[in-house]
Each structure stands twice: as C-alpha cells, then as structure tokens.
C-alpha cells in the first residue's frame, strides 16, 4: 500500500511505462535498429533507456556494445528508431493503457487533485490524444519543452509551475531511475512504478494503482 498525504495537491505523471505501456514500443523500435546492426540489446539494457531522450538512449546501446559512431550516424539511427516507434504507435489502443490508471485518474480528479504529464518523449501528445487521455491533465510537458533531460529536475519543476503548485505540494509517479532522481532533485516525493530492483532511489514502488491511497482534500 502506498499513501499520498494530505499535503499533495498535484500529481505529476511520467507517461511511457507509467500511464501507457508505450515502453514496449520504444523497446521494439530500438530492438529493430540493434538487430539490423548486429548490436546486443535486451530488456536489461532497455532499463537504462527508460526516461532517457532518444539520442542518449542510443548512446546507452552503443556504450553497451562498445560501438563508436559519428554524430551524423547517431542522428540517422535515432531517426530510424523514431520512424519504427511512430509506425508502432498507429496500433496503440485502450489495451496499452496501464491497468487501473484510468480509475486512478478519475479518483484524483474527483478529489480535486491537479494532474500533469511530464514526459521526456517528443511523441507524448500524440500518444495522449490517440488514447483520449489529454483532458485529465492540466499541463503536458514533453521533451519539446525542456532543455535538460531527467535526472535534471527541469521537467518536474515546469510541470508543478504549470499547475500553479510548489514542489512540496506535488508527488511524481515514475518508472525510470533517472526520473525518480529528477523528482527528488526537484524536491518532490516520488512513487516508483515497477519492480523496486530497477528503481533503487524510489522509497516506495507500486505495480497496481489500486494500492495507492489518495488524500481527502480539506476545503
Ligand atoms: C521516454 C522513454 O519517455 O521518452 C524513453 O522512456 C524515450 O525510452 C524517451 O527514449 C524519448 O522519446 P521520443 O518519443 O521522443 O523518442
Ligand atoms: Mg517512463
């Protein structure tokens, strides 16, 4: 059981792997690029790509394989991964939404708690619109809106400011270690989504949104 205390006025959600299982499509996009080039890439390496921007994710894979490329080649492979990812996104549907997340968003909305998406992905708005989830969120901050990627706190500080809240009033849900670190660097509480073994900085982890107790708001 994870508890949100009564000081929480806003919830900042990462998107991929937290609200939607798009992380599996990110994985398949990189897998195609890796397989085409004979690079090793598996679920374990993929954990290092969670929450990490496109080119930096490619670097994780290149470092793992001890491969060096020119900037131009890196950009070409990152573009290729994004093409595969966007093609896969065409099949996205309600089954890709994290189980239990919609009832959880509804509970938060009914409790008057503000919500934002804070995702490193430049494709985040496409995903939210495709699944008709946009209206839950008072703010959507994406990879297009930030200069410094997670673990820098920029994205969460922008999310809180867009909701008109302070760091103290926000809690973050994250499936990436870099994202948990970003939330803490922003001075926010954070609940890890996924197995604790992959989220060493998270004090609390959940795999089921029904296990999160939400605060009753006092007027
Ligand atoms: C994050 C994903 O949300 O977005 C990463 O966890 C991904 O795997 C990153 O690399 C950037 O996404 P995109 O869609 O802009 O390439
Ligand atoms: Mg994520």
Domain locations along the chain: 2-21+95-213, 23-91
Please give the Cα distance from 76 to 88 (Å, whole number).
Answer: 19
The CATH code belonging to domain 2-21+95-213 is: 3.40.50.1000
pTM for the model: 0.96
Q: Tell how strand 2-3 and strand 10-13 pair up.
A: unpaired
Ligand 1 center from residue 52 Cα (angstroms): 6
Residue in 101, 75, 80, 76 with CA at minimum distance from that of residue 22:
101
- Report the chain (219 residues): mean pLDDT per 10 consecutive residues: 86 98 96 98 95 96 98 98 97 96 96 97 97 98 97 98 98 97 98 95 95 76
Please give the Cα distance from 47 to 219 (Å, whole number).
Answer: 41
pLDDT at 4: 86
C-alpha atoms less than 13 angstroms from C-alpha of 183 in its C-beta half-sphere: 30
pLDDT at 217: 58
Please give the Cα distance from 112 to 211 (Å, whole number).
Answer: 19
Please give the Cα distance from 215 to 45 (Å, whole number).
Answer: 37
Residues with Cβ within 6 A of ligand 1?
Answer: 15-16, 23, 26, 49-54, 57, 82, 119-123, 143, 176
Please give the Cα distance from 33 to 41 (Å, whole number).
Answer: 10
Domain at 23-91: CATH architecture: Orthogonal Bundle (1.10)
Pick the catalytic residue: 14, 23, 36, 96?
14
């Amino acid at each position: 059981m994870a508890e949100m205390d009564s000081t929480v006025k806003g919830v900042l959600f990462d998107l991929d792997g937290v609200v939607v299982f798009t992380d599996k499509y990110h994985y398949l996009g990189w897998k195609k690029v890796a397989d085409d080039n004979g690079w090793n890439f598996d679920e374990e390496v993929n954990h290092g790509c969670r929450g990490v921007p496109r080119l930096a994710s490619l670097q994780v894979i290149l470092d793992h394989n001890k491969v060096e490329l020119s900037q131009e080649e890196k950009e070409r492979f990152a573009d290729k991964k994004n093409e595969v990812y966007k093609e896969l996104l065409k099949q996205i549907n309600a089954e890709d939404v994290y189980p239990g997340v919609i009832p959880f968003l509804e509970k938060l909305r009914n409790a008057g708690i503000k919500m934002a998406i804070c995702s490193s992905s430049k494709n985040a708005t496409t995903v939210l619109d495709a699944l008709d989830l946009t209206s839950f969120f008072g703010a959507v901050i994406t990879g297009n809106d930030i200069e410094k990627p997670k673990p820098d706190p920029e994205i969460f500080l922008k999310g809180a400011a867009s909701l008109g809240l302070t760091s103290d009033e926000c809690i973050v849900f994250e499936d990436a270690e870099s994202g948990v670190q970003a939330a803490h660097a922003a001075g926010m509480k954070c609940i890890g989504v996924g197995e604790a073994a992959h989220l060493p900085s998270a004090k609390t982890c959940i795999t089921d949104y029904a296990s999160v107790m939400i605060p009753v708001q006092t007027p």
